[in-house]
Amino acid sequence: MKKETARQQKIGQFIHSFLHVNRLRRVMVEAEISKLGIHSSQYHMLSLIAGSKSICQKEIAQKLEISSAAVAVTLNKLEAAGLINRNQSFDDARMNHITITEKGAELLKTTKTMFHSLDDACFDGISDEEIDQMQQLLEKMTENLKPAEKH
């Protein structure tokens, strides 16, 4: 087996650090969301609903790439918590249009503030120029990982 080159070691260290930061942030986000009495899957679904004027269960399943059954379970919890409303479609009695309630919108507003604080702490001491550089590097890495025919 060949010995790792210095570049391969640097890349490995970078990827390890990047993934570590990602895991730390995800754990912190989960902790903050759970203080509000919801799970991250409920948060993601609520955010999707808030971003749509009206959306149905099938569209949610497609956009989140989860089963309709999983959507139904989460919607039941969101509805029980008073965060969403389901309104029967005028065109199709089998379909419900789902909208966010005022309470749901307030919860999202609170999470937005929480996430801004978390991100501010994460990027403390990092200049705007450094953030721009990181963004450019991540875009290059994304491009590098795309299949050759898409380049």
Q: Does 4 map to a domain?
A: no
Q: Does 76 map to a domain?
A: yes
**What is the pLDDT at residue 93?**
61
- CA dihedral 115→117→122→127, nearest 10 degrees, is 120
Mean pLDDT of 145-151: 71
CB contact at 8 A, 49 and 74: no
**What is the pLDDT at residue 62?**
95
Q: Does 137 map to a domain?
A: no
Q: pTM of this prediction? A: 0.75
Name the residue among 15, 6, 20 with its Cα closest to residue 145.
15
Distances (CA, A) of 117 to 47, 114, 126: 18, 5, 15
Question: What does the pLDDT look like over 17-31, one tens digit per residue?
Answer: 999 999 999 999 999
Q: Count the domains in the chain.
A: 1
**What is the pLDDT at residue 88?**
76
Q: Does 40 map to a domain?
A: yes
**What is the pLDDT at residue 127?**
97
Name the average pLDDT for the chain. 91
Range of the domain at 92: 32-115
Instruction: Look at residue 87 and tell me whether its pLDDT is greater than 60.
Output: yes
**What is the pLDDT at residue 150?**
57
Among the residue ranges 32-46, 58-72, 84-98, 99-113, the one predicted with the least confidence is 84-98
Q: Does 103 map to a domain?
A: yes
CA-CA-CA-CA torsion sign (96, 101, 106, 107): negative
What's the CATH code of the domain at 82?
A: 1.10.10.10
Q: Does 1 map to a domain?
A: no
**What is the pLDDT at residue 92?**
66
Q: Does 102 map to a domain?
A: yes
Give the integer Cα–Cα distance in Å for 43 and 3: 45
> In this structure, are strands 55-56 and 84-88 parallel, antiparallel, or unpaired?
unpaired
Q: Does 37 map to a domain?
A: yes
Question: What does the pLDDT look like over 38-85, one tens digit per residue?
Answer: 999 999 999 999 999 879 899 999 999 999 999 999 999 999 999 999
